[in-house]
Each structure stands twice: as C-alpha cells, then as structure tokens.
Amino acid sequence: HYPPRLNCVSYFLDRWVEQGHGEAPCVISPSVSYTYRELQALVNRIANVLVGKLKLVPGGRVLLRSANNPMMVATYLAVIKAGGIVVATMPLLRAKELSYPIQKAAITLALCDGKLADEMEKAKAAAPGLERVVYWGNDTDNSLEALIADASSEFTAVDTASEDICLIAFTSGTTGDPKGTMHFHRDMLAVCDGYARNILRAGQKDRFIGSAPLAFTFGFGGVLFPMHIGASFVVLEKTTPDDLLSAIEQYKTTVCFTAPTAYRAMIGKLPGRDISSLRKCVSAGETLPKPTFDAWFQATGIKLMDGIGSTEMLHIFISATEDEIRPGATGKPVPGYEAKIVDDEGRDVPPGTMGRLAVRGPTGCRYLADERQRKYVQNGWNITGDTYLMDSDGYFWYQSRSDDMIVSAGYNIAGTDVEAALLTHPAVAECGVVGAPDEARGMIVKAYVITAPGVTADAQLVAELQEHVKGEIAPYKYPRAIEFVTQLPKTETGKLKRFALRQLAQA
Ligand code: 3SK
C-alpha cells in the first residue's frame, strides 16, 4: 500500500518539518544533538555535495564507515535522499574485510569517520575501483565539513520508486563470502508499519537508545522507528553496559534495543542507578535465554521483548507484544508476516516438531548477484538458517542455528573467517573454529589448533594467536578459547566435521 514513487527520507525526515514538528529533538549524542529541522538542514547540505561536487547519480552506491554518531545518521539519510544506495559497513572491519563489499558492490565513493581512516586507506589501496574517500572529523580542506560549508540547506528528495534499492547491508558471512542484502525504500517503512507499530507500540514522547552498530539493520531500526513517529533517539559511540546505563540515566531514555548479553551484563550494575525512565526493552541479535528474561524482570519490572530478525528480512519478523510474551519463546509472526517450520525437503512439519524456520512477508531476501539466493528463498519462503519449533498455540521456540554461524554477545561470527585468520600464522598447521557455550556471552568463539612441527603449544602461543587474529579481522571475532589438539575430526574426503567439533565444544 505504499505509493509507487517514494523516497523514504521524505517520509522519515521532511514530513516532520513540513508538519510543524521541526523543533522537536531528533538525534541526541554526547557530542552534538539535532532537532528534526537541524538534521534536515545537515542532510540537505550533504545531499547537495553528494550530487554536486561528488557526482552521485541515482542508484549510485556509497559506502559508509563509522561508529554510531549523528554524522553517520546524517550521511546515511543524505545518500538515500540523494537517490543513492547506502552500503553500510561495520566500524570494526579490517581492511581485508572491507575490500570485499567495496569490490562486490563496485564502490567508487566512500564516506568515513576520520577516526577510522587507517583501515579505510589500506582497503582503498587494495581496491582500485574506489576513487574517493571523504572523511569527516579530520579537519582537512577536503573533509566533509569543508565540502558542505558553502552548500545549501535546501534539497528536494530525488524522485525514486518505492521499489528502488536504497540499502545494501552485508551479512557477516557464514560459509564463504558475506552476502549483500538489498532493501527497497518501501522496506524501510514496512518494518516500521509492521514491527514497530504493532509490536513495539512506542509513541512520540519516547526516546530510544541502543548499542548495535547502525550498519547492522537491527541497530538502524533504532533510527527508523523513532523517526517514523517523530520521537527522539540517542546514538552512542561507546556502548559497554556501563556506557549504556549512564546514557539511559542521563538522557532519560524510554525504549532500549540491545542484545541479551548486554541486558545480562547490566543487571549486576543496576544498584545505585536510576533507570526508571525505561519502559520498553527489546532483545534481539541472539536468542534470549529465559533466565535473562526472568532476572531482568525481577530487577526492573520490565518484560524483555524478544524478537528474531535477519539482515535479509531487514528487521524483526517474529516477536510478541508485552501482554502476549511467553518467556522462553520468541513469539508469533509480526502482523504482515507468515512463518512456518519445514523439514530439509521444504515440507511443512506438524506443531511441536523441530525444523527449519521459513518466513515470508513485506520484506524479503534479495542478494546482490549471489547464487546463494536460491538457497535462502525456496518456493517464495525465506529460509532463515535457524532451527525452531512452533507450538500448538502458534508460538515459535528457538532451538539452534542450522548453519555454522557463531552468535556471540550479539555478534554473528563465521567460524571460517577465524580459521582463515589463524591459518595465516606460521605456528598453525590446521584448525577448526566453532561456538562453545558461555554464560555471559551465550557463545564464545573456540578454536581447536594443531600446531606446526617444532612449535611449543603454551599459554604464550594462545595470547599470540589471539592478538594475531585481532590484527587480521574484526577484533570481536578473536577466539576467546584456544585448545591445542593433535587431530581434528574429518570426513573421509578430508573435510572438517564441524558438527563433531561443535559437540566437543559443548562437552
Ligand atoms: O539477529 C536478529 O535477530 C536481527 C534482528 C533485527 C534485524 C536484524 C537482525 C539480524
């Protein structure tokens, strides 16, 4: 039911200024805050520079790299308002990981926080197609601030179709390379009209806060949902549980979006804190254990609203309103979505049977030039890679991941990425990386390593390998546990039996 011509930024931003809501607070941060009118002016200046000086054409892709801050929000909206496509990348990615989306999405222009220039420059050197990186916050003549200094604060949103792509979000990659998931302008509204309106039910007086990177679609929901209703939101560059609690207290936020691990970590730090402003807490990114639900409820009186989403589906598609929550279950399909459980052949299975979660609705998987589309979308259903069961009341209960993804403290980590990083160290002859259960983080990354001949396998080597991985790939992926072994479980054809290794790690 969206109009055929739609630029979603007109809806999220311009509409509020036109309707006399421009002086209301919009984005708040420790360094700078903007009302809707101020954010619109900044977005317009950037959009003018993108189209004028940087020659962005409709459909042109712009890579963004930043921690969560107001400029990240403004550049994101400006690219879309200018008719371009945001290619959002996680701030912790190393040069090697950044080069993949640069090449896959044929990026010629990037906007980047000056604080993250080092890895960006290394990636640029390795990607000849990337012609220009414009930095902000680095005080040079070519900085984004310098470019926008004389730009007009008036800009009419470029006329786009509601089914034009406005976002390519890369998955963290389970097996093989990350996948670029493409989303339309209308998808950005659909997740608000579906999940936010029906399940979250926040209002204009609400103030959102969250800790997930804005480059992760879970995190960007913390921008879209408040802007959909003219509410405000806090963005934080530092998001430890202490930072989050301090910001909740300071800015009197009312809606919190973060991972179960963060809620669990905050519980012990609550004494002496005043977080009485909070009224809704959303938990996603990893499964919410019932003990965490219970402990948060006991400590705060707030029922954690669990939800499952995926980068492919843009945001949450199964959840429950506060009055329908069943602790331990994820919930029911968000209005507009259908979900079911299927077996390995794609056949529906009866309630109470474990199987693969299949979902369809107003958003869906569209991979950028990737054969794996066939695997994810079967007979019109999105096969999410999660094993679930549905009970006879239609509630969905998480069982496990169906693939090799390790979900640790809300981060999705591909074991194969960590293996590749470990194998570049001369002391490693062979390795296998899986998730091991962990009370605090849900799962941790655990590596089983066979050392090269003559190498001493000791605590010093563990520390050295951990540092090595942090230098090769995003530091949050490093193996928190390393066990030295003399052999790894293999199939007859010599492939690592990941399942057997996972069982070993569970023991
Ligand atoms: O991991 C999730 O559950 C999630 C939630 C919202 C948006 C995206 C994702 C991956």
Q: Which letter, b or e, does each residue of 190-225 get, where b requires 16 or more Cβ atoms within 10 Å of its Cβ?
A: bbbbbbbbebbebeeebbbbbbbbbbbbbbbbbbbb
CA 211 → CA 57, 69, 241, 313, distances in Å?
33, 11, 9, 20
Q: Which letter, b or e, does each residue of 454-469 get, where b requires 16 or more Cβ atoms within 10 Å of its Cβ?
A: ebebeeebbeebbebb
Q: Measured from the CA of 284, which atom of ligand 1 is nearest?
A: 3
Nearest 5°: phi and psi at 383? -100, 110
Substitution site in 171, 214, 218 for ligand 1 pocket (most atoms within 8 Å of beta carbon): 218
Among protein residues, the one whose CA lies closest to atom 1 of ligand 1: 285
**For residues 328 and 488, what is the distance between their CA atoms, to the nearest angstrom?**
35
CA 339 → CA 24, 248, 317, distances in Å?
38, 34, 9
At 498 the pLDDT is 78
Among protein residues, the one whose CA lies closest to atom 5 of ligand 1: 309
Q: Which residue has the tokens 């003399």?
A: 486
Q: Measured from the CA of 412, which atom of ligand 1 is nearest?
A: 1
Give the rounded percent of residues in the chain with a pLDDT score beyond 70.
Answer: 98
**For residues 211 and 237, what is the distance between their CA atoms, to the nearest angstrom?**
9
Strand-pair category, 85-89 with 109-113: unpaired
Q: Do 428 and 421 contact (CB within 8 A), yes or no?
A: no
Ligand 1 center from residue 219 Cα (angstroms): 9
Among protein residues, the one whose CA lies closest to atom 4 of ligand 1: 309
CB atoms within 10 A of CB 228: 21
Q: Which residue has the higher pLDDT, 168 or 401?
A: 168
Ligand 1 center from residue 189 Cα (angstroms): 16
Ligand 1 center from residue 166 Cα (angstroms): 19
At 247, the pLDDT band (50, 70, 90 cuts) reads: very high
Q: Measured from the CA of 285, which atom of ligand 1 is nearest?
A: 1
Q: Is the pLDDT of residue 456 over 90?
A: yes
Q: Which letter, b or e, does each residue of 7-41 get, where b requires 16 or more Cβ atoms within 10 Å of its Cβ?
A: bbbbbbbbebbeeeebeebbbbbbeebbbbbbbbb
Residues near ligand 1 with C-beta < 6 Å? Answer: 217-218, 284-285, 308-311, 315-316
At 489 the pLDDT is 87
Mean per-residue pLDDT for 184-199? 98
Cα dihedral 18, 19, 22, 24, rounded to 10, equals -160
The ipTM (two decimal places) reads 0.96
At 420 the pLDDT is 81
Ligand 1 center from residue 311 Cα (angstroms): 6
Amino acid residing at 320: A
Substitution site in 172, 187, 308 for ligand 1 pocket (most atoms within 8 Å of beta carbon): 308
Strand-pair category, 180-184 with 165-170: antiparallel
At 69 the pLDDT is 98
Ligand 1 center from residue 410 Cα (angstroms): 9
**For residues 157 and 440, what is the distance between their CA atoms, to the nearest angstrom?**
45
Ligand 1 center from residue 259 Cα (angstroms): 10
Q: Measured from the CA of 308, which atom of ligand 1 is nearest?
A: 3
At 289, the pLDDT band (50, 70, 90 cuts) reads: confident
pLDDT per residue as tens digits for the range 492-503: 556 677 778 888
Mean per-residue pLDDT for 32-54? 98
Alpha helical stretches, state H, 13-138: 15-18, 36-51, 70-81, 95-104, 117-126
At 172, the pLDDT band (50, 70, 90 cuts) reads: confident
pLDDT per residue as tens digits for the range 386-397: 989 999 999 999
Q: Measured from the CA of 307, which atom of ligand 1 is nearest?
A: 3
Nearest 5°: phi and psi at 270? -70, -35
Ligand 1 center from residue 309 Cα (angstroms): 4
Q: Is the pLDDT of residue 374 over 60?
A: yes
CB atoms within 10 A of CB 290: 12
